[in-house]
Chain A
Amino acid sequence: MGASHAGTFWGTPGGWTLLTAGQILLVAVGVLLSVVVVLYADRKIWAGVQMRKGPNVVGPFGTLQLFADAGKFLLKEIVIPDGADKLIFLAAPVFTVTLGLSAWAALPLAPGWVVSNINVGVLYLFAISSLGVYGIIMGGWASNSKYPFLGALRSAAQMVSYEVSIGFVIVTVIVLAGSMNLQTIVAQQAGWFWNWNVLGGGGWKNLPMALVMIPMSVIFFVSSLAETNRPPFDLSEAESELVAGYQVEYSSTPYLLFMMGEYINIILLCGLITVLFFGGWQAPFPTPFLKDWAPTLASLFGLAWFVLKIGFFFFMFAMVKAVVPRYRYDQLMRLGWKVFLPTSLVAVMLVAAWRVFGPTG
């Protein structure tokens, strides 16, 4: 992916379309497969913390449980509530999954492996993730029922609130890296792990910035929990008050799509944390030996690190779900608006000042 094919068949409009479609298919299949892995891991980790066994009946160690669940969802009847806005009701989950998958187009998976290497990649991801709220509002409104509507409103307010702090955290990384291109941001974090943006991104000279960037990465992590409606911020589907929030009227395949969209977004945000703060596909040590490897092998080496890091952050997501109790709604809003927003605003100013007056200015 990404290599120049000018002059060959792949450079012609037809070839280009075919090539891009193939890349999109490859990434989409990869993401969907990782959703299965991640869902299984989520349930196993959750069960492990609670000293349960988790899924353990279907297949070896319960690994086929997810496929059994998917089959069950697909075979059930789609129930559309009376008086629901049928089109929007069915479009909402499709919209959620489409957005989740389209965001992956700009995420660099390995050296040179990205479907679309756009200059404003960070902004693209931010724009796409800010659209995620529509799936929830549409689903909640179209259900024509109180609980989904309340759940949708709560969830939308929550996502809009945390988007603000996520935006400012992203600005700190953009200012630090001096680029909005995700490939450039990752490439700049090459070498030892102290070049990663979480430690100031730029070796020993920028190390004082670690004091700002470590809190920023924590804020980004917590905000992405809120953004994906994960526990402890799963107020939109708080089962004790709202039954299941915006998706209470959903059954069968549409519910499955909502579920999938949610997990695609979770993996995406794990990937975004990795790319922005923890070096993306870079190994935590210098890799001069990669020059002698075949390009594909070197890319696979990068991909392995990327997957490893995503796996680590997903493990953190799952552990938070297992050990942290749910927030109350006013506490959630206080954390977003009164703690994260001012902190990230100050951080933007500090990083900008460092870039202008600091040693790298």
Chain B
Amino acid sequence: MALQAIAFYILAAATLGAGLLVITARNPVHSVLFLIAAFFAAAGLFVLLGAEFLAMILVVVYVGAVAVLFLFVVMMLDVDFSALRAGFSRYLPVGAVVATILVVEMVAVSVGVAQRGAAAGATPLAPTSVTNAEAIGRVLYTDYVYFFQAAGMILLVAMIGAIVLTLRHRAGVRRQSIVDQTARTPAAGMRLVQIKSGEGLRE
């Protein structure tokens, strides 16, 4: 359909343009914002493919959580970009090798796809009547349940690791205990004193 083609070209151009601007922008905060734009356009491409669940998860996880942390770090750090660019010529050969490998891989994949079509040879995992969120759920929690659990364990270990690294118990710190505060009665918290006139309070 014509509308879909127009939407595809706009979104694809936006993804590529934003990706290019991520690496060319001088200000790191601008880079992160362009990265967010690239994620967003990629989510749009997912929607065009009919994978709306993946699109939303992409936005929630990458844009809503990961990129926020990126932005936090980049804004807090005082990154000196001229110092980073100083070693450009030294790192160029390594970068060029990596870039060449990636380009060759991508060209090979796209040629393969162009020759026999993306979905050729693939059988649908679920009847097409179910929504793709349901289809993913059915596969994820049955065939791939161990991988799913393993991914969960890895994330849990990472989380515990981060807590262990940053948690320190300092002695002598006064903390608020809300349970103690709400359990306090007037009898425990205050003392009524009758003060005789002219004598004042003596203790």
Q: Which residues of A contact B (CB under 8 A)?
A: 13, 16-17, 85, 88, 118-120, 123-124, 126-128, 130-131, 133-134, 137-138, 141, 149, 153, 156, 160, 163, 180, 330-331, 334
Known contacts: A13-B3, A134-B36, A180-B133. The answer to whether A124 contacts B178 by CB under 8 A is: no
Contact B176 A330 (CB under 8 A): yes
- Residue B41 interfacial (CB < 8 Å): no
Q: Which 5 A-B pairs have the closest CB atoms?
A: A130-B64, A127-B59, A123-B56, A119-B131, A127-B60
Known contacts: A119-B131, A123-B56, A130-B65. The answer to whether A141 contacts B75 by CB under 8 A is: yes
- Separation in Å of the A227 CB from the closest CB of chain B? 12
- Residue B114 interfacial (CB < 8 Å): no
CA distance A133 to B60 in the complex (A): 12
CA distance A331 to B175 in the complex (A): 12
Contact B56 A160 (CB under 8 A): no
Q: Please provide the chain B residues from 28 to 79 with a CB less than 8 Å away from any CB of chain A in the complex.
A: 29-30, 33, 36, 52-53, 56-57, 59-60, 63-65, 68, 71-72, 75
CA distance A120 to B33 in the complex (A): 26
- Separation in Å of the B196 CB from the closest CB of chain A? 38
- Residue B2 interfacial (CB < 8 Å): yes
From A123, A133, A141, B53 is in contact (CB under 8 Å) with A123
- Residue B92 interfacial (CB < 8 Å): no
Cβ contacts A to B, 21 pairs, < 8 Å: A13-B1, A13-B2, A13-B3, A17-B3, A85-B29, A88-B30, A88-B33, A119-B131, A119-B132, A124-B56, A126-B56, A128-B59, A130-B63, A134-B36, A134-B71, A137-B71, A137-B72, A138-B33, A153-B72, A330-B176, A331-B178
CA distance A239 to B131 in the complex (A): 48
Known contacts: A131-B59, A141-B29. The answer to whether A120 contacts B53 by CB under 8 A is: yes
Contact B71 A120 (CB under 8 A): no
Contact A160 B178 (CB under 8 A): no
* Residues of chain B within 8 A of A85, CB atoms compared: 27, 29
CA distance A119 to B55 in the complex (A): 12
* Residues of chain A within 8 A of B36, CB atoms compared: 134
